[in-house]
Structure 1
Amino acid sequence: MSTNSTKRMEDSKQSRYPLLINWFKSRNCKVIVALSGGVDSALVTLAARQALGKENVLAITANYQTLANEELETAKKVAKEIDVIHHLLEYNELDNPNFTKNDSLRCFHCRNELAINLLKVAKEKNISLIVDGTNLDDVDDDRPGMIALHSMGIKSPLLDIGLGKKEVRHFAKINNLSVHDKPSNSCLASRVPHGTEINSVKLRRIERCEMIIKKLSGVRQVRVRDHDTIARIEIERSEISKLCNLDKIDKIVFEIRELGFKHVTLDLEGYGKKEIGKLNEDEIITIDKYVKK
């Protein structure tokens, strides 16, 4: 590719960030941003702050007891970097039997409850606009949670203007956001296979296992899938070599077994998007029963 072509591509990318700022300016109102601690919601929060000013932006991070403490601390750090008003929304989604039964609609019930709680805050503070960090690439996955949020009126500015993950990271980097290269994460409940009930004991055990692996191996992204007596470790393929050390392996296995697992395995396919298929017809009907009309 020629230098001129590369420059045109860069100029095109640069011109898209003002679209995000203008998305907020055109609405000209106070906004609640669901700040998860990831790069997507961080960029949305920054754009809202630049467009509307500090006094018109409320960043809310939901501490619903299934998010790793590391993610909560990152959200607090990002809020300070951007200099926005930041509130923690405290509730326990483990009190919701529709969530803890952990069927294929777990994420729908999680995001639906989040939306309900955000809407309560919005009503109390007389704020009409709530946004999240859903980006264009997210529509490629099965996202019952996204359906839940949008059905409750939560907006996704990144999706509206067509920004994908790569562009989000680019704009986060040039705006000096510390999370610009932070690996994507999800709630701890996603480590428990569908059909297995979720409880706080499982979640805290998973969180502890992931902390152990990060500390002893230096990997940046890890998932520990809880298969009852088996802990299945997933890390990026590029980082698998960091575990190719018998001393590290022995320490990791010992500490994870101390937490109650009998077997510790490493998924050699590595962490990444896996084919989970489309929602079948019954699941679509089930979602429709819950979606707000």
Structure 2
Amino acid sequence: MTNLTKLEDWFADKNKVMVALSGGVDSALVAYAAYQKLGDSAIAVTADYKTLSEEELQTAKRICIEIGINQLFLDYNELENEEFTKNDSTRCFHCRLELGDHLLKLAKDHNVDVIVDGTNLDDLGDYRPGIDALRQNGIRSPLVETNLSKPQIRQIAKSVGLSVHDKPSNSCLASRIPWGQRVTAEKLTRIEFGETVVKQLTNVKQVRVRDLNGSAKIEVEKNDIPEFNNAVLDKITEKLKMIGFTSVEIDQEGYKPGKINVIAD
């Protein structure tokens, strides 16, 4: 039995399924498998909670068109949640707890009996309090339950023709702000704009613009750092200062997920 068949068969005894779909490869593959097995009894839901970038939102829409799956949207504002905006080490937990509440209500409206997400086997090795919050709401993870790792997921996604098979991993814009520094709409806007500028002026796909008390620290893969010659960096700095960053620097250590998950003064 192939890994794809195993994943599709996970849905065999389900009646109606809702897939929490972001713009990434993991939830895209879950949505693909659900739709292959259940057809219109599988629906995708994308949450526009104001910390998801417009790029991710558009990618999520494109994925659903590729798959053919119906897509619903949840529209709410995480910045109204004080437990989220105060940005301590439980931020992701409160984000996912709120998301779970919204998903459960929507599932009830659409007579859905199981909600699934794109958590994969590799995610369990990281600090991911959001996963605990989703579990509390009974949300299940077919990729974990069928023992699929990130490399396997990318390989399957490529074999079925999903355009996001090689898309770099991403996370919500709030993850660019160190714990202890409040999440605000202003910061999220300049982070999103900053990352768009960097991608436009370089050939780099994996970009994080960390907002460190107003200073921009740009993280890219180590082998992409040479893209930032003086002329390119000058252009980026000029644009980022126009939108409120006080200074701009390249992190010479290179990109590493969760690097700023420390309490900042």
Deviation at 1:20, TM superposition (A): 0.3
Deviation at 1:56, TM superposition (A): 0.3
> Which residue number in structure 2 is paired with residue 167 of structure 1?
152
Q: Equivalences for 1:24-63 in 2 at 5 Å?
A: 24-25=11-12, 27-53=13-39, 55-63=40-48
Give deviations 1:228-247, integer Å, cap 9, x for gaps: 2310000111211211x222
The answer as to 2:237 corresponding to 1:253 is yes
Deviation at 1:42, TM superposition (A): 0.2
Q: What is the letter of the counterpart of residue 90 of structure 2?
A: L
Q: What is the letter of the counterpart of residue 29 of structure 1?
A: N
Deviation at 1:218, TM superposition (A): 1.8
The correspondence for 2:4, drawn from 2, 8, 17, is 17
Structure 1 runs of 4+ with >6 Å offset:
none
> Which residue number in structure 1 is paired with residue 170 of structure 2?
185
> Which residue number in structure 2 is paired with residue 262 of structure 1?
246
Distance 1:254 1:178 in 2: 33
User: CA distance change for structure 1 residues 193 and 274 in 2, over 3 Å: closer, same or farther?
Assistant: closer
Deviation at 1:46, TM superposition (A): 0.3
Distance 1:227 1:188 in 2: 13
Q: What is the letter of the counterpart of residue 264 of structure 1?
A: V
Give deviations 1:55-80, integer Å, cap 9, x for gaps: 10110000000010000000000000
Q: Equivalences for 1:1-293 in 2 at 5 Å?
A: 15-25=2-12, 27-53=13-39, 55-243=40-228, 245-273=229-257
Distance 1:177 1:127 in 2: 25
Please, which runs of 5 or more residues in structure 1 have no aligned partner?
1-13, 278-293
Deviation at 1:15, TM superposition (A): 1.5
Distance 2:194 2:259 in 1: 25
SS in 1 for 2:11: helix
> Which residue number in structure 2 is paired with residue 281 of structure 1?
none
Q: State the TM-score, normalized to the length of structure 1.
A: 0.87
Distance 1:125 1:86 in 2: 12
Q: What is the letter of the counterpart of residue 45 of structure 1?
A: A
Which structure: larger Rg?
A: 1
2:177 and 2:260 in contact (8 A); partners too: no
SS in 2 for 1:86: strand
Instruction: Tell me the C-alpha RMSD between the 2 structures.
Output: 1.5
Distance 2:170 2:72 in 1: 21
Deviation at 1:28, TM superposition (A): 2.8
